[in-house]
Structure 1
């Protein structure tokens, strides 16, 4: 059971090196990377233009551009660690992950890489899960594995590790918040080593990157993005698992929730999700039935913000008008275009320049704000 025919596209060594330089340069995130690549045609041309674009965005000095030496050293370290850096149109890049609008331009993958092209279901939940929650997560994961699905999760304590442990034999994917050599929590290094035989580990972070608090929501978008749907087993109010559920909904993924006792705070978040329309799950069949029609449809790239053209030929008054509408409160791109009376291509170009200058922050749902 495969999610699609694996791609035969392959980057040249030079283009892979230049793409790595581009994504490792200051203020270049996945969306900005995609816009630059589309506008300039290749990573080398985009790298040449970075200083000028950042200056136009009001950068006080030249931002750091990753050198060819640093990128070469990272590629060599990856090879030594058994990590491949793959682009969205290459084999072994999870096909559904490639469709999200902030897909990592290069994803570090290792393990039994065929697992990454099989259909995935995410199982996530509380770190301090109940015994019943842990047992149910394991049963659910095992049944999904037996049905041919790969279970994907975040290698965290609690529900995540229960789902991984139950599917070591059938194939499971761990999404890391740090580099491949900085496993968190460290006591799960044995679990990771065991699951690599039939499954895989993925990360967008460079080797040596120790995960910080803000890296976990970034990781969560990869868990939901690679999957057909996300199952939340236990989650208190305002938990990381609910962030994953929100991202899944934004990405057009199915959201499943396991009901729990109304007097257990660990079930408060999942019970709320069910009230909001998440599919109630009591067995693997509930999930398999719901995703069957999705698996029959071809995997489509959604229309993405970075598909739109950029127009850097803007005059000073127009640029000032766009910048004056921005502030610390997030505003949508559509509102910016309407209020500034500028073309979408010009507004996108100005936002890109501001981002490269380190002055703009992007939020979910197409919102932006000044830093």
Structure 2
């Protein structure tokens, strides 16, 4: 009962306009108790009604979401160290993963190339096979590839954590509805944001500190110099974590971020072994595999009821589908893979490919491949 009252009071504060994590902890430091903080805040501004906080708890129970306060023993210690740690985490799935022995964040471009996705997926798969939990943000591109690679490890039983930049009842991007359901069934989805919080440009940088805090290090696979992935890397650096980056062609805009990080001292990473060597798993750490009750990927389709989960509206000018040229790298990609990734009908695909070739933007390579030109 006392825990429920504490959770209710924390929610009332966090649902009050103008109260964020830093303000919350400053008030707690000053007034020492939640009751006194509520009284102090109520003097200055309208406090969130108790009924609204109760509705939040009721919705969590309906959706099977666990509300984990910063005082809860399940709350991850690595996250608790932040001065702006979320006072409450919304969690859907296996909460044991919050305190997994060793984790690695894998992030990168939304408009990722085919090769970038393959690298992210392969590294995530190999890390998971070596008992390193993969944490990412469930965005399209590199994030999605990392989650999928992790879940296909360990005979399709691999866990993964997705940290959302929306409320836990809002799926973003819409195309990741199936991925959301698989992660909820096999891994863990978390958010610090209240139910109903839509996708906003401002919320995604905030969640990056959570991604990096949950992991021992952060791997960046493809990112521009202004990418949110570099914000995650910056957060990791400030938290004293290792930074890893996959190098790429200097001609690729998506390679500028990782190449810059490598120049600044990040670990040049070509495969999972480069990460495992730095983490010294094989030599200096004994990682105990967490015993997880999970379902293989081919048996999770109907295991999570998402009838009450919303599909988020696209962010303005952020959700355009990648053009064919954006999927092609300077190193070259397999044409069959390109066709599958493009989502185009075969006739339209080869028509566009021919146009790109005639306009001098791509060239054919041996082995049924095409590469982008300058």
TM-score by length of 2: 0.71
Q: How many residues align?
A: 278
Shift of 1:204: 0.6
1:200 aligns with 188
What CA distance in whole angstroms lies between the structure 1 residues aligned with 2:13 and 2:148? Answer: 37
1:290 aligns with 2:278: yes
Q: Does 1:223 align with 2:206?
A: no
1:44 to 25, 35, 52: 35
1:23 and 2:14 are equivalent in the alignment = yes
- How far apart in 2 are the matches of 1:197 and 1:26? 33
* Aligned position for 1:257: 245
291 and 39 in structure 1: CA distance in 2 versus 1, 3 angstrom threshold: farther
Q: CA deviation at 1:102?
A: 0.8
Corresponding residue number in structure 2 for 1:147: 130
8 Å Cα contact 1:121/1:229 also seen in 2: yes
CA deviation string 1:238-264 (max 9, x = no partner): 111111111111122211111111111
* Structure 1 residues without counterparts, runs of 5 or longer: 1-9, 55-62, 297-371
Q: Is the contact made by 1:120 and 1:151 (CA closer than 8 Å) also made in structure 2? A: yes
Does residue 1:267 correspond to 2:250, yes or no?
Answer: no
Q: 1:79 Cα deviation (Å)?
A: 0.8
CA offsets, 1:200-249, max 9 Å, x none? Answer: 00001111111210001011111111111110010112111111111111
1:133 alignment partner, one of 102, 110, 116: 116
Secondary structure of the structure 2 residue equivalent to 1:152: strand
Is residue 95 from structure 1 mapped to residue 77 from structure 2 by the alignment? Answer: yes
State the 1:132 CA deviation. 1.0
User: C-alpha root-mean-square deviation of aligned residues, in Å?
Assistant: 1.8
Q: Deviation of residue 11 (structure 1)? A: 6.2
Aligned to 1:156: 139
Counterpart of 2:220 in structure 1 is: 232
Q: Hey, what's the Cα distance between the residues in 1 that align with 2:127 and 2:140?
A: 20
Normalising by structure 1, we get a TM-score of 0.72
Q: Distance in 2 between matches of 1:89 and 1:229?
A: 25
Question: 1:28 & 1:117 partners in 2: Cα distance?
Answer: 27
Q: Which residue of 2 aligns with 1:110?
A: 92
Within 2, Cα distance between the matches of 1:11 and 1:121?
35
Change in Cα spacing, 1:11 to 1:153, as seen in structure 2 (3 Å) is farther
How far 1:47 moved relative to its partner? Answer: 0.6
Deviation at 1:95, TM superposition (A): 2.6
What is the DSSP-based 3-state SS (H/G/I as helix, E as strand, rest coil) of the residue aligned with 1:197? helix
Do structure 1's residue 212 and structure 2's residue 200 form an aligned pair?
A: yes
Q: Report the Cα distance in structure 2 between the residues aligned to 1:246 and 1:15, rounded to whole angstroms.
A: 33
Matched, 1:241 2:229: yes
Unaligned runs of 5+ in 2: 152-156, 286-374
Higher relative contact order (CA 8 A, sep 6+): 1
In the alignment, the residues of structure 2 paired with residue 130 and residue 83 of structure 1 have an alpha-carbon distance, to the nearest angstrom, of 34
Matches within 5 A, 1:178-189: 178-189=166-177
- Residues in 2 aligned to 1:263 and 1:104: alpha-carbon distance in whole angstroms: 39
Q: Contact (CA 8 Å) 1:180, 1:203: kept in 2 or not?
A: yes
Which has the higher mean CA deviation after the structures are superposed, 91-100 or 189-198?
91-100
